[in-house]
Structure 1
């Protein structure tokens, strides 16, 4: 059973867990994929609560999210799913069925087309408002050296949080 919450009520839990891993899940047509993210940003932009996700061009998820209107972020808050987060962060959905390999199940989103990871505790459903490929010339050298030495930059997806809920 889930309880709907305002994104400001869960911001600490979301940001604390995000650093340890969350599942970004997207559905394009009949294809669903999930990947582990450890970066993202909560905010309030354009009079809307937002989550900004970053997806590298090299990821299979990038192919899907470019065709999608939305995505979900599912977070395990009780130390569970560490192995699953590792697999979903190192394996490609092009090569393996992550859901079967990790024994994780999907549940339909309540507002968006993309599903959530049912075994998680906290979920946000996000509608993409704006996407922006990174301009490598605008990135400071320290960040380039640390995060983009191979030139595999991200596209940033600014999305409205249309629903947030937590297991009760």
Structure 2
């Protein structure tokens, strides 16, 4: 396959579209869209998000020590895009978008009710990266949409319908369909001699 060099940039996809929820010292909550988010450790369960240090969300996390990461379904693409374009210093994004915030189980930061997967995190550290900060959060609880599970507890990922961001080309997409079973289908390959 012929390839083109793009240089040092942030074109890598897909990236999850998430809404980061946080609160300041006065209990004012903020939502921010972030695609630089992901699991970085299984033991202990840890998530990381990368935020510009000038953001209201970063300020809130420093003050409160917690945040939630809310997986955005494809049906909320417009609302998520709005939350990435406007500052929480200027307006209440949940009010403008109609996104309902609900109380989390273990942290002060809220969860986004219409997001089918919510992760409660307690900030355990940060690492400076230029104007950005890599914020690491211990996962205290994960909330998953009940309708994603059958009677036997098996999860149907199609219910989540995650919105992904294609960094570099500035587009949102959904995932499409399952193509393989992880930790299983790769075992069908035999080593080449």
Secondary structure of 2:64's aligned partner: coil
The separation in 2 between residues aligned to 1:41 and 1:75, in whole angstroms, is 11
The separation in 2 between residues aligned to 1:109 and 1:51, in whole angstroms, is 17
Runs of 4+ in 1 over 2 A off after TM superposition: none
How far 1:59 sits from its partner (Å)? 1.4
The separation in 2 between residues aligned to 1:63 and 1:69, in whole angstroms, is 10
Higher Cα Rg: structure 1 or 2? 2
Give the number of the structure with larger relative contact order, counting CA–CA contacts within 8 Å between residues 6 or more apart: 1
Cα RMSD of the aligned pairs, angstroms, is: 1.5
Structure 1 residue ranges without an equivalent (≥5): 1-17, 137-152
The separation in 2 between residues aligned to 1:28 and 1:95, in whole angstroms, is 14
Tell me which residue corresponds to 2:85: 90
Query: What is the TM-score with the length of structure 2 in the denominator?
Result: 0.64
The separation in 2 between residues aligned to 1:154 and 1:28, in whole angstroms, is 19
**Structure 1 residue 164 corresponds to structure 2 residue 142:** yes
Query: What is the TM-score with the length of structure 1 in the denominator?
Result: 0.74
CA deviation vs aligned residue, 1:12-66 (integer Å, no higher than 9, x gap) = xxxxxx8251100011221211100101231227x41100111102212122111
Structure 2 residue ranges without an equivalent (≥5): 1-13, 147-193
How many residues are paired up?
Answer: 132
* Bigger strand fraction: 1
